C-alpha cells in the first residue's frame, strides 16, 4: 500500500520537469532557428510488473532530446536573412570555438563581413564570408555574388547523428561528443530574405502540456485515494462496532 | 516548478517588447523615410541536469543529456532598410533616394545625422533645411530671386533666376552610405547617427555605384507593411497568451502538490 504511494509520486515528479521544458518551448515560440526540446520517459522495469500500461505511474526521465523538424519560413525581405530548407547548419566562429546554428538572422559588419546576431563571423568555404558591396545575391546552393561577382559559398554542414548535437545559449549548437564530425550537407536549400521560424507548434505544445498536467493531477488523486484507504486500515479496521 | 513560471515569464516579457516594436512601426506607417524594426530573440542558457555520455545505472552510457532551458531573451531590434514606396507630392523640395544612400544633415550640436526623409524646406536666408530646420550638408543656398529649382538625378541643384533664360548651377547634393545600415542608431526626428556597428559613412554623389538616384517631387514613404505588422501582432499576442497559460499550469501544479495532503 505504501509502495503504491511512492509509485504515484514517481509518476508526478517527471511532469514537473516536463512543464519546465514546455515552458521553455513556449517562451521560444518566436525565436528564429529555435528547435524544441522533448522528453523521453523511462519505464522502471524493476518496479511493479505490468505497470507500464498505467501511464501516470512509475516513470522516470531518461533524457531530453532536441526535435530537429523543419520550422516554417517567414519572409523578411532583408538580403542578409537566410533560411535553411532541409538538412544542415550554418557555421559560425566564436571566441569559444565553432558553433552551428539554424538561425540565419545575419547582417554585415562595418568591414563587410557577414556576421550573425551576436557579431560572430559566418563561415564560407574559405574563412569568413566577405559581402562588401551593394547588391548581395545568395543562391539556393549558398553561392554568394555581390554586385555581379561571385565571392564564395556559405558553408552548410551536417552531422551523421544530428541528435548528438547539444543546445547552448543563443540558438547555437555544439557537438555533444567528440565522435560527432561535421561533413558537407547535401540535402538543403538556402532561401534569401527569409528566416526559419521556431518549430514550436502552439497547438501541439498546448495539448502536450494539458495531457501532462492531467497525468500529474491523476497522480495526486491516486495518492489521495491510497491515503484514504490507509486511513481506513489504520483507524477503522480494529474498531469494535 | 517556480522555474517554469520564470521561464514562461521571460517569454511574456519578450512578446511584450515585440508588441511595443510593432506598435511603433504601426504608429509610423505614414512617416516619410521611416524604416521598420523587428525584435530579435535568442534562447538563453541551459541547465545541465545530466550530461550526455555519462554512465547510467545499467552501465551503459547515456545517449541524450538532460538540459533544461531557461527561456528567451530579446537581443536586438533590427531595422530593415528596404525601400519604401515613392509617393508623388509635386513639391520641388521633396526629394527621395532610389538606392542605398542617405542625406547628410548637420545637427544643431555640429555632429552629422543621416536621413532618408527628403521633405526639405527653405530657411529664411534661402538655405535647404529639414523640417526641423537642420542644414543639409553640403550647404546649398538658393539666390533670393530664384523662382524655379530643379534637382537632377545625380544631385546637381540648379535654379532659374527670374529674368534669366538659362538656369544656373548652385550646388551638388552629396549622399552617404554605410556598409551596415542596420547598425545605425535612430535618434528621432527621422535621423540616424553612425555607430561602430554601422561603420564610417562613405560619401559620394548620387547615381554613383550604390548611392542611388535623386527623384525630385517624390517622398519615400514608410516601409511598414500593415498586413505584415498585423500578422506579427497576432503571432505576438498568441505567444504572449500561451506563455501565460504555461505560468497558470505551473501554478495549478503547485496547488495540486499542496493539496496532496488533505
pLDDT digits (tens, 9 = 90+) for B70-128: 889 888 888 888 889 999 998 999 999 998 899 999 999 999 999 999 999 988 888 99
> Would you call A76 and B3 a contact, using CB atoms and an 8 Å cutoff?
no
Rounded CA gap, B72 and B43, in Å?
Answer: 4
Give the pLDDT of residue A1.
Answer: 57
Decide if A63 and B196 are in contact by the 8 Å CB cutoff: no
In tens, the pLDDT along A7-18 reads 788 778 888 888
- Give residue A59's pLDDT: 56
DSSP B53-86: TPBPTTSSBPSS-EEEE--EEEEEEEEP-PPPPE
Nearest chain B CA: its distance from A54 CA (Å):
20
pLDDT for residue B219 is more than 90: yes
Distance from CA of B180 to the nearest CA of A (A): 5
Q: Which of A140, A174, A143 is nearest to A159 (CA)?
A: A174
pLDDT digit string, tens, across residues A63-103: 788 889 999 998 888 889 999 999 899 999 999 889 999 99
- Residue B82's contacts (CB-CB under 8 Å, 6 or more residues apart) are A77, A78, B35, B223
Which member of A64, A77, A110 has the closest CB to residue B80? A77
Coarse DSSP helix, strand, coil percentages of chain A, rounded to the nearest 5 percent: 25, 35, 40
Q: Nearest chain B Cα to A115, which residue?
A: B180
Residue that has been written with the C-alpha cell 561533413 in this structure:
A183
Percent of chain B topping pLDDT 90: 52
Residue among B179, B236, B252 whose CB faces A112 most closely:
B179
Q: Which of B53, B71, B80 is the closest to A27 by Cβ?
A: B71
pLDDT tops 70 at residue B63: no
| Calpha distance B1→A76 (Å, rounded) | 37
Cα–Cα dist A166/A162, whole Å:
9
Contact A26, B242 (CB under 8 A): yes
Residue A47: band (very low, low, confident or very high) from pLDDT cuts 50, 70, 90:
very low
pLDDT at residue A46 is higher than 60: no
Q: Do A20 and B3 touch (CB under 8 A)?
A: yes
To probe the interface with A, which of B10, B11, B18, B43 has the most A CB atoms within 10 Å?
B43
- Residue-wise pLDDT tens digits, B163-188: 777 888 889 999 999 988 888 999 98
Q: Do B200 and A110 touch (CB under 8 A)?
A: yes
Q: 10 Å Cβ neighbour count for B57?
A: 5
Predicted pLDDT at A58: 45
pLDDT over threshold 80, residue A122: yes
Residue from A30, A106, A176, A197 whose CB has the most chain B CBs within 10 Å, to mutate: A30
Q: Which residues pair with A65 in a beta bridge?
A: A38
Residue of B nearest to A108 (CA): B180
Please answer whether residues A57 and A8 qualify as being in contact, where contact means their C-beta atoms are separated by less than 8 angstroms: yes
* Residue B180, C-alpha cell as written in the block: 551596415
In chain A, % of residues over pLDDT 90:
38
Dihedral angle sign, alpha carbons of residues A101, A103, A108, A110:
negative
Sign of CA dihedral A176, A182, A188, A192: positive
Cell readout for A14 is 517527471
pLDDT in tens, B114-160: 999 999 998 888 899 999 999 998 888 888 777 788 999 999 999 88
Beta bridge partners of B38: B78
pLDDT tens digit sequence for A161-205: 666 788 888 899 988 776 678 888 888 999 999 999 999 988 889
Give B-chain residues touching A109 at CB under 8 angstroms.
Answer: 179-180, 197, 199
Candidates B6, B10, B25, B67, partner chain A, best to mutate (most A CBs within 10 A): B67
DSSP string, B189-232: TTEEE--TTT-PPEEE-TTSTTT-EEEETEEEPP---HHHHHHH
Beta carbons of A181 and A158 less than 8 angstroms apart: no
Rg, chain B, Cα only: 27
Higher pLDDT, A55 or B92: B92
Strand B156-161 to A183-184 pairing: unpaired
Q: Across the interface, do A134 and B70 touch by the CB < 8 Å criterion?
A: no
Output the pLDDT for position B223: 92
Residue A57's pLDDT band, with cuts at 50, 70 and 90, is: very low
Nearest by CB to A110, which of B78, B80, B199? Answer: B199
Q: What is the distance, to the nearest Å, from the Cα of residue A206 to the centroid of all Cα atoms in its chain?
A: 16
Going by C-alpha positions, the residue among A95, A136, A135 that lies closest to residue A118 is A95
pTM equals 0.79
ipTM tops 0.90: no
- Of A105, A114, A108, nearest to A76 by C-alpha is A105
Q: What is the pLDDT of residue B1?
A: 59
B42: left (phi over 0), alpha (psi -120 to 50) or beta: beta
Residue B242: pLDDT band with limits 50, 70, 90 = very high
- pLDDT of B182 reads 86
Partners of A43 on chain B (C-beta within 8 Å) are none
Q: How far is A187 from chain B (nearest CA, A)?
A: 25
Residues pairing with B79 in the sheet: B37
Given pLDDT bands bounded at 50, 70 and 90, which one contains residue B2?
Answer: confident
In angstroms, the CA A178 to CA A171 distance is 21
Distance CA B126, CA A217 (A): 78
- The answer to whether the CB atoms of A31 and B72 lie below 8 A apart is yes
Interface contact B1-A16, CB threshold 8 A: yes
What's the gap in Å between the CA of B199 and the closest CA on chain A? 4
CA distance A189 to chain B (A): 23
- Grid coordinates standing for B126? 534661402
Task: Using CB atoms, pick whichever of A110, A118, A132 lies closest to residue B198.
Answer: A110
Amino acid at each position: 500500500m505504501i509502495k503504491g504511494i511512492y509509485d504515484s509520486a514517481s509518476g508526478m515528479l517527471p511532469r514537473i520537469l516536463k512543464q519546465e521544458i514546455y515552458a521553455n518551448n513556449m517562451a521560444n515560440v518566436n525565436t528564429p532557428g529555435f528547435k524544441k526540446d522533448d522528453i523521453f520517459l523511462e519505464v522502471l522495469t524493476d518496479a511493479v510488473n505490468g505497470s507500464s500500461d498505467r501511464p501516470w505511474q512509475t516513470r522516470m526521465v531518461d533524457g531530453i532530446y532536441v526535435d530537429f523538424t523543419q520550422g516554417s519560413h517567414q519572409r523578411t525581405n532583408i538580403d542578409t536573412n537566410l533560411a535553411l530548407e532541409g538538412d544542415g547548419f550554418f557555421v559560425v566562429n566564436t571566441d569559444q570555438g565553432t558553433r552551428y546554428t539554424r538561425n540565419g538572422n545575419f547582417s554585415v559588419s562595418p568591414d563587410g563581413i557577414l556576421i550573425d546576431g551576436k557579431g560572430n563571423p559566418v563561415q564560407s568555404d574559405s574563412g569568413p564570408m566577405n559581402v562588401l558591396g551593394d547588391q548581395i545575391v545568395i543562391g539556393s546552393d549558398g553561392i554568394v555574388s555581390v554586385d555581379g561577382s561571385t565571392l564564395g559559398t556559405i558553408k552548410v554542414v551536417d552531422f551523421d547523428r544530428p541528435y548528438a548535437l547539444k543546445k547552448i545559449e543563443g540558438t547555437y549548437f555544439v557537438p555533444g561528443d567528440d565522435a560527432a564530425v561535421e561533413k558537407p550537407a547535401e540535402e538543403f536549400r538556402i532561401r534569401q530574405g527569409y528566416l526559419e521560424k521556431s518549430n514550436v507548434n502552439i497547438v501541439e505544445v498546448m495539448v502536450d502540456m494539458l495531457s501532462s498536467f492531467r497525468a500529474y493531477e491523476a497522480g495526486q488523486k491516486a495518492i489521495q485515494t491510497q491515503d484514504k484507504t490507509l486511513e481506513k486500515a489504520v483507524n477503522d479496521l480494529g474498531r469494535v462496532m | 516548478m517556480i522555474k517554469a513560471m520564470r521561464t514562461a515569464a521571460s517569454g511574456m516579457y519578450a512578446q511584450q517588447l515585440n508588441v511595443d516594436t510593432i506598435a511603433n512601426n504601426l504608429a509610423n506607417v505614414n512617416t516619410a523615410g521611416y524604416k521598420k524594426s523587428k525584435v530579435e530573440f535568442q534562447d538563453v542558457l541551459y541547465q545541465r541536469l545530466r550530461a550526455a555520455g555519462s554512465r547510467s545505472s545499467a552501465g551503459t552510457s547515456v545517449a541524450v543529456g538532460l538540459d533544461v532551458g531557461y527561456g528567451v531573451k530579446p537581443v536586438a531590434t533590427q531595422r530593415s532598410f528596404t525601400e519604401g514606396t515613392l509617393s508623388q507630392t509635386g513639391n520641388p523640395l521633396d526629394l527621395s533616394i532610389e538606392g542605398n544612400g542617405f542625406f547628410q544633415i548637420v545637427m544643431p550640436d555640429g555632429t552629422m545625422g543621416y536621413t532618408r526623409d527628403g521633405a526639405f524646406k527653405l530657411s529664411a536666408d534661402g538655405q535647404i533645411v529639414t523640417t526641423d530646420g537642420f542644414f543639409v550638408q553640403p550647404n546649398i543656398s538658393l539666390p533670393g530671386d530664384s523662382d524655379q529649382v530643379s534637382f537632377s538625378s545625380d544631385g546637381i541643384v540648379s535654379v532659374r533666376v527670374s529674368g534669366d533664360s538659362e538656369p544656373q548651377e548652385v550646388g551638388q547634393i552629396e549622399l552617404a552610405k554605410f556598409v551596415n545600415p542596420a547598425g545605425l542608431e535612430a535618434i528621432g526626428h527621422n535621423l540616424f547617427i553612425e555607430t561602430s556597428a554601422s561603420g564610417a559613412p562613405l560619401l559620394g554623389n548620387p547615381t554613383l555605384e550604390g548611392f542611388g538616384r535623386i527623384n525630385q517631387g517624390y517622398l519615400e514613404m514608410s516601409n511598414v507593411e500593415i498586413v505584415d505588422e498585423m500578422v506579427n501582432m497576432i503571432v505576438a499576442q498568441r505567444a504572449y497568451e500561451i506563455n501565460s497559460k504555461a505560468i497558470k499550469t505551473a501554478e495549478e501544479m503547485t496547488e495540486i502538490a499542496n493539496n496532496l495532503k488533505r
